[in-house]
Amino acid sequence: MSNYTINPGDAAPADIELETWPEGKLKLADLKGKWIILYFYPKDSTSGCTTESCEFRDALPDFSAADAAIVGVSRDSVKSHENFTTKQGLNFPLISDPDEALCKAFDVIQTKMNYGKEYLGVERSTFIINPEGSITHAWRKVKVAGHVEDVLNTLKEAQG
């Protein structure tokens, strides 16, 4: 039994509309009919987040071939996302969630430790959402190494 409030088998929160970079607004309902790889990460331009985002960038053709969209989410501003996207050549949208609406809906705001202090932050997490809008897989406390390849393989298995 998971301690999370949202798990595989649940419907993904589809109607939370937030600003993105490239400019615009996005809600998961806009992508209905496609597979969605939704990944939450703590902060733009930090080492683990940059590595993870660049691995998703490099794997985008494989995900696209599997009819899957990649969407990243963090609490950073649209301007921060613009800088991160431009610097790293990212080729998918990043959602700006400063009020943690989507983060809280996916229950990725968790207690973390830094230098012995507890704080609430984004737990690196990835979700696969099927074309009907249900979560099929969830990764929590993601370790970056090998993660993108694991997500791609799991997606292909889920598609049968």
Can you give the CATH number for the domain in which 65 is found? Answer: 3.40.30.10
> Is 103 contained in some domain?
yes
> Is 13 contained in some domain?
no
> Is 127 contained in some domain?
yes
Measured distance CA(97)–CA(84) in Å, rounded: 15
Q: Mean pLDDT in the chain?
A: 96
pLDDT at 3 (0 to 100): 83
Domain range for 133: 18-152
> Is 75 contained in some domain?
yes
Query: How many other CB atoms sit within 10 Å of the CB of residue 37?
Result: 26
> Is 5 contained in some domain?
no
Measured distance CA(138)–CA(83) in Å, rounded: 28
49 is catalytic: yes
Q: How many domains does the chain have?
A: 1
Output the pTM of the full model. 0.96
Q: Give the rounded percent of residues in the chain with a pLDDT score beyond 90.
A: 94
Catalytic residue among 36, 37, 49, 94: 49
> Is 1 contained in some domain?
no
> Is 8 contained in some domain?
no
pLDDT tens string 43-93 = 999 999 999 999 999 999 999 999 999 999 999 999 999 999 999 999 999
> Is 102 contained in some domain?
yes
